[in-house]
Amino acid sequence: MKKQQAGGRPVRCGIVLAGGHGRRLRSLITRLRGEALPKQYVNFIGRRSMLEHTFDRVQRLIPAERVFTIASRDHLDYPEAVRQLANRPTGTVIVQPENKETGPGLFLPLLHLHARYPDAVVAVFPSDHFIVEEALFMGHVDLACRVVERDPSRVVILGVEPDGTESEYGYIVPGHDVGTPAGLRRVARFVEKPAPEAVEDLVQRGGLWNTMVMAFRTTTLLTIARRIAPAFFEMFQRIGAAIGTPRELDVVEQAYADMAPMNFSRGLLEALPYQPRSPLTVLPVRGVFWSDWGSEERIASVLEHTGYGERLNGAGISPSPTETAPICAGAA
């Protein structure tokens, strides 16, 4: 059933990307737990998993019944993953047949969301981020949503001001100011994992770490996909037409069997700055410690400086030299 918020303001929804397997961390997790549980379900810090931390963060802004999660079918082989997903509101966990990268992982829950909330403003959250100042960070997400509510044509991505020269991150190069709110800039280009010798210059020129946290109107992103990736769009258009019908499972199975993996950033987002009248803008995030937990060394650095270093006993890893600044966190 299609729903819209009273008073004319678009409904806000969230998508949590939890469909991956974290293969780079499989060895570490096996050493820590004795099994290769996908990283988003692992409790590295505090009393909750990365996924549970993400849910709590998102639900500061968006109610749980409007937070959709993508998981992969083989995640359900792990009792711990099943436990965490079973706690979610009915109909909000979307299970894909297999992981075909972040493009399908975003668009499958987006179409389920679109079927219920066709005019929604959507905020997207990867499930493998560590953030200390969560309230401040979510305040920036709220601001990004308000930008989209005022101008539905915009796509707003959050870029964190670097506190070091990290060559393993993706960078956003801001372009010119676009007005309100202060600091909102056009995206000039993306630089994915720049060479170490290029990072310092990139940071000095205002480059921002790409969080992949973004806000957009559902219909806007679908229009962008139709223009930039028409074959991909047509496949998901077939899925969208089948959602809620007896054919849904068969259509999704066949589409996933036929489709090639597509990285959302490389396959769609990175093309936007070169489009006429690009809708893509970046909102700089300052004063927030943010870390993308994609490597053993990065996780080790954060755990050491938040007082959870003992969890690494026997894992045989050392902190990354690029992330050794003291961190103050009350991770629960």
pLDDT in tens, 150-159: 999 999 999 9
Q: What is the average per-residue pLDDT within 193-203?
A: 90
Tell me the C-alpha distance between 237 and 54, whole Å: 29
Q: Is the pLDDT of residue 164 over 90?
A: no
Q: What is the average per-residue pLDDT within 27-48?
A: 88
Query: Bigger pLDDT: 139 or 321?
Result: 139
Identify any residues that bridge with 130 across adjacent strands, giving them in sequence order: 291
Q: Is the pLDDT of residue 174 over 90?
A: yes
Tell me the C-alpha distance between 331 and 148, whole Å: 31
pLDDT at site 8? 67
Q: What is the average per-residue pLDDT within 171-188?
A: 92
pLDDT in tens, 272-284: 999 988 999 999 9
Percent of the chain at pLDDT > 70 equals: 92
Q: What is the average per-residue pLDDT within 214-235?
A: 96
Encoded tokens for 26: 């499989």
pLDDT at site 2? 57
Encoded tokens for 172: 């956003």
Q: Is the pLDDT of residue 33 over 50?
A: yes
Tell me the C-alpha distance between 12 and 26, whole Å: 34
Assess contact for 126 and 39: CB atoms under 8 A. Answer: no
201: CB partners within 8 A, 6+ apart: none
Every domain range in the chain assigned CATH 3.90.550.10: 10-131+230-263
Q: Mind giving me the DSSP string for 17-41? A: E-----GGGHHHHHHHHSS---GGG
Average pLDDT, rounded, for the chain: 90
Confidence of residue 296 (pLDDT cuts 50, 70, 90): confident
Q: What is the average per-residue pLDDT within 87-109?
A: 97
pLDDT at site 94? 98
pLDDT at site 7? 53
Percent of the chain at pLDDT > 90 equals: 71
What CATH homologous superfamily does 10-131+230-263 map to? Spore Coat Polysaccharide Biosynthesis Protein SpsA; Chain A (3.90.550.10)
- Which of 7-21, 136-150, 226-240, 302-316 is least confident? 302-316
C-alpha dist (Å) from residue 248 to 70, 240, 242, 252, 326: 16, 9, 5, 6, 50
